[in-house]
Amino acid sequence: ISVAEYQKLIKAQPKAKAKRATKVKTERVVSEGEATLAQHLKAHGVSFEQEFRFCVDRKWRADFHIVGHKLLVEVEGGIWSGGRHTRAKGYIGDMEKYNAAVALGYRVLRFSTEQVKSGFAINGILGLVE
């Protein structure tokens, strides 16, 4: 078989499709902002739930639910590093999620990690719950 015939034969073979990588379920890592906000809420005696599923039809969860106030709090990470929340698909998904929360009667507060660490977030939350 000549080189030309070999190359024709190889090109005629159907190429195998690349397999999609499967997602492995791992434990969720709590961000620095979420850990700090949890400490602030505990220190001020504010009752809360983390990873609160607010919509039964979707798998949406809020970082925090302030119990008894129908208040959801999100700590937005990766805003300076081009994270999920600042790219188009993630941003649109967040809008859908937050609009659904409001339609279900929740108030939604969003804070950056820097706002949580500075105390701005806990002050805003306390202003609504006290």
Residue 85 has pLDDT above 80, yes or no: no
pTM, entire model: 0.72
pLDDT per position as a tens digit, 27-69: 666 789 999 999 999 999 999 999 999 988 888 999 999 999 9
Phi-psi region of 48 (alpha: psi -120 to 50; beta: other; left: phi over 0): beta
13, burial (CB in 10 Å: exposed 0-12, middle 13-18, buried 19+):
exposed
Residue 118 has pLDDT above 60, yes or no: yes
Output the average pLDDT for the chain: 84
Backbone angles phi, psi at 90, to 5 degrees: -65, -40
Q: Which of 71, 52, 49 is nearest to 62 (CA)?
A: 52
CA distance 3 to 92: 53
Residue 113 neighbours by CB distance under 10 Å: 20
CA distance 87 to 83: 7
